[in-house]
Structures are given as structure tokens and as C-alpha cells.
Amino acid sequence: MGMNLEQLRSFVEVADVASFTRAAERLHLAQPSLSRQISALEHDLGAELLHRARGGSTLTTAGQSLLPLARRMLADADTVRRELAELSGLQRGSVRLGATPSLSVGLVVEALSAFHAAYPAIGLHLSEQGSRRLLEELAGGELDLALITSTNPTATERLTVTPLLVEELVLVSARSRPAVTTRRTIELHQVAPLPQIAFRSTYDLRSATDAAYASASLTPDIVLEGAEMDAVLRFVERGVGVAIVPAMVVLDRPGLRSVRLSEPRLTRTISLARPADFEPSTAARVLARTITTTATALAGASATTLRPAGQAVGAPTR
């Protein structure tokens, strides 16, 4: 059978508008060419598909049977084209991702490693900044996607922000040292007198813990401050002090033990942001799906301290 997609497309168009003349105009074909395609289709199928009349064209019984099948075949063909185009698009190009430093330690490493393993030809660029700066870079067209941490993220008119996870902050200490408590949780007034490693003052994680201490009229015993995330974790592993950190960064850190905070329990929201005024590239869409899948997997690995974000959105933090 010599039936082809162009013949089917011509047949569906004539069936939709009930006119060879109007169908030819919509398909940008000469009417004799359209008529030849339909006649060839009828010859190949061995059945008349259309009743031709001066006032218009109507479907025969055979034409009525073919029409839904033809629509399905054309839709399947379009799907194949899109999928092949996406595959072709993932053979080259690059994606620019922004992330806060604390997320680069866990979620970003896992997501980018999985993406690179699946699509090694796609170049990856990572910008590590605070959430506010990342949103500025995103709005300025410098990034395709950005992972931000927030307590209340909101999307501007030019950005779309999708919450992924709500993450608890936990207290970490060196596994080589005695545990700070034998209980499953620890209260903030019990944490305050412990020697602590603190982030530098511009970190919103530092602002969140400082605010919690101030609200409880407590003064933490800070023995070292001003470090970035990786340095904070290393100092804790060496037993210099304890630290309040996002739960996710403790995964795959055998040198650390963690305990959940209570009274109060501190959390942050992890969100994925992208420009709202244009469609992302295929590679950016696939990376976004990879990040979402990775976040879900991490939540499963630490179900007590991570959970999928609800509909609530909050203000960017670092």
C-alpha cells in the first residue's frame, strides 16, 4: 500500500472543511495536486472516501471509518517528530544553572551528575550565588534555571518560581565525638551553650538562626564564624563545634551525626525558578525534570526532614 502522511493530511483537511478548494488553500496546494493525492489514496485503499459534488464534499462510509484512524496516525507522526527533535536538541548546546552554595553541596551535584551521565554532549554552566542575585541573573537572561532557597518565594512578572521541597534545618556534630543528646530531638535553648560554627553574616541561613535565637532571648556560643557551607561541615567533622545546617547536606557525610531541632523547628523552601516570558530549550526542560526527580529521590532518602513543597510560596533566602 502506497499511502503516505501527505495523502492522509490532505484527506483530513478536505473532510474538515468539506471542500477541495478551501482545503487546497489551507494546505497551500494547487487544487489539481490535492485532487491527485486524494485519488491516489482512494486507489491505494480500494475504496471511495469522498462524495464529490458542486456544493461540497461529504464522507462516504469508508471515509468515515478512515477519518479517526487518519487523525491518530497524523498525531502519532507529530509526536515522533517532536521526540526526534528533542533528541537532536540534546546532542549539542548548553544549559546555564544557578544555585545557592548550600544546594551545590547536595541536590545540584546529584542532579547535574545524573544529567551529564544521560546527556554528556550538553555543556553545563553553574553560577553559585545567593537567591536574590540568582533571580537578578535569571531576569537578566544570564541563566536558564535557578535553584533558590526561600522561606516565602514569589514569582515576579518575568519569572516563574516552583517550590520543590520543604527542608528542615538540623543540628550536626562530629560522629567521632560524644553525641550532644541521647534524645531524637534537641531544643534551641540546649543548643545555645554548645560551641558553634556559624556562617558568614550575609547568609540567610545565618539570619534565620540568629532570628530564632533572638526570639528565644538566647545568645549562641560561636567559636568560629564567617565560613561557607563546605568549610562549616569540615570544621564540624573535625570536632571544632556544632552547626545548624540544612538536612540535605548531611546525606553521604559519614563523619557527621544529626539531630532534629524542636522548639522551634526551622525550615526552608527549595524552589526552581525560570524566566516566564519565553519557552525554555529542550535541554533546560530535561534538566528541570532531572532536578525535580532528584529532589523527590532525596526527599525519599530523608523522609523525616524533607517533604514535597505545598502550594505556599515565600521570599528568597540564601
The pLDDT profile of the chain, 318 residues, written as one tens digit per residue, is 457 888 999 999 999 999 999 999 999 999 999 999 999 999 888 899 999 988 889 999 999 999 999 888 888 777 666 665 665 666 677 899 999 888 887 889 989 999 998 888 888 999 998 888 888 888 888 899 999 986 444 445 678 888 998 888 999 999 999 999 999 999 999 999 999 999 988 777 888 899 999 999 999 999 999 988 889 999 999 999 999 999 888 877 899 999 999 878 898 889 999 988 777 888 888 899 999 988 887 776 666 676 777 633 333 344
Q: Are residues 193 and 236 in the same domain?
A: yes
Cα(66)–Cα(236) distance, rounded to whole angstroms?
Answer: 71
Q: Read off φ and ψ for residue 310, nearest 5 degrees.
A: -85, -155
Mark whether 82 and 108 lie in a shared domain.
no
The per-residue pLDDT for 295 is 85
Alpha-carbon span 75 to 72, nearest angstrom: 5
Do 286 and 198 reside in the same domain of the chain?
Answer: yes
Looking at 36, 69, 89, the residue that finishes a domain is 89
Residues 280 and 262 placed together within one structural domain of the fold = yes
| Residues 83, 101 share a domain | no
Q: Look at residue 315 in the predicted model and tell me its pLDDT.
A: 34
Please name which of 112, 101, 109, 99 lies closest in space to residue 231, comparing C-alpha atoms: 101
Cβ pair 98, 143 in contact under 8 A: yes
Q: Do both 131 and 15 map to the same domain?
A: no
pLDDT of residue 302: 64
Whether residue 57 is found in the same domain as residue 114: no
User: What per-residue confidence (pLDDT) applies to 301?
Assistant: 62
Same-domain status, 184 and 221: yes
Nearest to 186 by CA among 258, 129, 261, 236: 261
Numbers of helices and strands, H then E, in the chain: 11, 14
Neighbours of 266 (CB within 10 A): 19
CB 158 within 8 A of CB 165: no
Q: What pLDDT score was predicted for residue 314?
A: 36
Pair 156, 23 in one domain:
no
Of 194, 209, 197, 191, the C-alpha closest to 151 is 209
Which residues lie across from 168 on neighbouring strands?
Answer: 267
Last residue in a domain, options 89, 115, 132: 89
We report the CATH number of the domain holding residue 38 as 1.10.10.10
Nearest to 149 by CA among 108, 208, 100, 198: 100
Structural domain boundaries enclosing 60: 5-89
Structure-block grid coordinates of residue 226: 564567617
Q: Which residues contact 99 (CB under 8 A, 6 or more apart)?
A: 107, 108, 126, 127, 128, 134, 146, 147, 148
In this prediction, residue 277 carries a pLDDT of 78
pTM for this predicted structure: 0.63
d(C-alpha 89, C-alpha 125), whole Å = 17
Whether 265 and 226 share a structural domain: yes
Domain boundary among 61, 89, 117: 89
Shared domain check, 81 and 101: no
Sign of CA dihedral 161, 162, 168, 170: negative
Structural domains counted in the chain:
2
Q: Which amino acid is at 182?
A: T
| Same domain flag for 65 and 102 | no
The CATH number given to whatever domain includes residue 121 is 3.40.190.290
